[in-house]
Amino acid sequence: MKKVLGTADLIVLGVASMVGAGIFATIGIASAEAGPSVVILFLITGITCLFSAWCYAELASEFPDAGSAYTYVHRRLGPWMAWMIGWDLFLEYAVGNMAVALSWSDYFCNWLNSFGISLPNWMTISYTEVHALPQQAADIIIHSAPTFGSWYVLLDLPAITITILITGIVLMGVQLSNRLNWMLFLLKATVLLVFIGWGWQYCTASNWSPIFPKGWSGMLNGTAAVFFAYIGFDALTTLSGESKEAGRTIPKAIFWSLGIVTLLYIVLAILLTGMVHPSKLNVGDPWLLAVQEVGWFAFEPWVASTALISMIGVLLVFQMGQPRIWMYMSKDGLLPKCFSSLHPRFNTPHWSVVATGISILLPLLFLNLTTVIELTSIGTILAFTLVCYLVWSSPSSPSAFKVWYINGRYGILCFIIGAFVYLYVHPIQWTLSVKHSIPILLGCCLIVIVIKTIYHQLSLIPTLGLCSNILLLMTMSVQNWLRVLIWLGIGFLFFIAYQRLNKKNYTNYK
């Protein structure tokens, strides 16, 4: 594969991977929960992600030839754990793209409505979403849909169409994808800067008071929505095979993109809560509501267009990431060889690209947005947790970038205080039930990590990354844990079956 991506290209790709559905959709949900304190929540979440980003940067520098959490786990823990994390990463990249495609479809339909064009309901909804509607509304949509044999045809056509288009672009090479991303970035940046410059005059200071309308618990309730806005910086590691001097450029790009996005989120959160009272922001398109509240109706089409452009950037980067993970798995003998074959003209892993597109398209017919976002969040946090564990548990070889060593025994006290504050805000009922067994188990893991860090004087930064990710996992619902455990169980069975059918020795980099 050609190494064509420089530091600036990777930074823009990193920004594109994060500025999408999170800032244009879930920021409204988080603001409704946290109020003006959503700004503090973005800052805290950004710092939390920084701990994980530091660990990704060190491993990307140590293993510059092939990226992603999959490769790092394979080199350190062997093929079995590598397969499981590769299976888990599907939840971040492919399932994450399902969430973005569904959000893009909603914005696209609203954008068409602003021109007086509306698609039939059966063209913009999945089977699961229909069955979640009240019976009368569901019957109207179902009976208006065409039939195929005895089946009613229900499909989210905009989401399916954009997925096919992005798959085709990714198939045609990283240079085309990079050029398209730069064009989308410049358009998006121009509109956002204009919006920020003009929007301040419509802010009302009274909207920022009180800062904590629902207390600290209200602020922390928006954690999941805010974290979803930061998912994506780790996708840069999957592009190491096409990056110039990957051991240096990828760590730089991770930090720059995360810093730029955190600053942008803070500015936009201040602006949004100033233009609209936070209590009104529990909607799917908060920025359209903002321009309507201040009477800036001429800017409505621009807001919708910027949202569409931003989400295309996210789709593009994630669609580039998943096929490359499968390509590395195929090279290591964990998937059939066709997944690592390169197209003779475009020099891309074409079978992996097509398989990714198909794996995204089929679930779009059945899943709803809420389920998809929850699966993406827990899958991503699990990957972050394992990457932090790799850096925390064992020293790395000499590399261009190293996590700063700070003696963990002096800094872990701050984390313990933070954990007590968290437990005070979110008290856990210590009962032996299914609902509370997972938080109790994760809490025991935290105690072990703290004791080992103090006793062995381990580095503070990966410790904080590991502990903060475990705390985020403790906030996940039982239903979400059941889904991901079932998914990982299916992955384990696939691994055993493929290993027996393949009957070959797996590459072991340890």
* Record: fold of 7-386: Amino acid/polyamine transporter I (1.20.1740)
Q: What is the value of pTM for the model shown?
A: 0.85
Over residues 115-128, the pLDDT tens digits come to 888 888 888 877 77
Which residues, at least 6 apart from 383, have a Cβ–Cβ distance to it below 8 Å?
69, 85, 88, 89, 92, 234
Over residues 124-169, the pLDDT tens digits come to 877 777 777 777 777 778 778 787 777 778 788 888 899 999 999 9
Every domain of the chain and the residues it spans: 7-386
pLDDT value of position 279: 85
Closest CA to 325 of 97, 69, 77: 69
Per residue, the 3-state secondary structure of 246-265, as one string, reads HHHHHHHHHHHHHHHHHHHH
Rg (CA), the chain: 23
DSSP notation for 29-92:
HHHHHHGGGHHHHHHHHHHHHHHHHHHHHHHHHH-TTS-HHHHHHHHHH-HHHHHHHHHHHHHH
The more confidently predicted of residues 108 and 434 is: 108
pLDDT value of position 427: 57
pLDDT value of position 120: 85
CA distance 322 to 163: 14
CA distance 60 to 240: 8
What is the pLDDT of the chain when averaged over all its residues?
Answer: 82
Residue 10 CB neighbour total at 10 angstroms: 26
Q: What are phi and psi of 152, to 5 degrees?
A: -85, 135
Closest CA to 36 of 247, 291, 212: 212
pLDDT value of position 297: 79
Give the range with max mean pLDDT: 10-24, 88-102, 263-277, 448-462.
263-277
**pLDDT higher than threshold 70 for residue 61:** yes
**pLDDT higher than threshold 50 for residue 430:** no
**pLDDT higher than threshold 60 for residue 409:** yes
CA distance 473 to 446: 12
93-106: average pLDDT: 82
pLDDT value of position 182: 93
- Residue 148 is inside which H or E element, if any? strand 147-148
Over residues 181-228, the pLDDT tens digits come to 999 999 888 888 888 888 888 888 888 888 888 777 777 777 767 777
Query: In 3-state terms, what secondary structure has residue 150?
Result: coil
CA distance 86 to 322: 9
22-42: average pLDDT: 82
**Is the bond preceding 210 in cis, omega lying within 30 degrees of 0?**
yes
Residue 449 CB neighbour total at 10 angstroms: 21
Over residues 314-358, the pLDDT tens digits come to 889 889 988 999 999 888 888 888 898 988 888 889 999 999 999
| Residue 470 confidence class, pLDDT cut points 50, 70, 90 | confident
Indicate the burial class of 280 (C-beta count within 10 angstroms; 0-12, 13-18, 19 or more): middle
The more confidently predicted of residues 284 and 439 is: 439
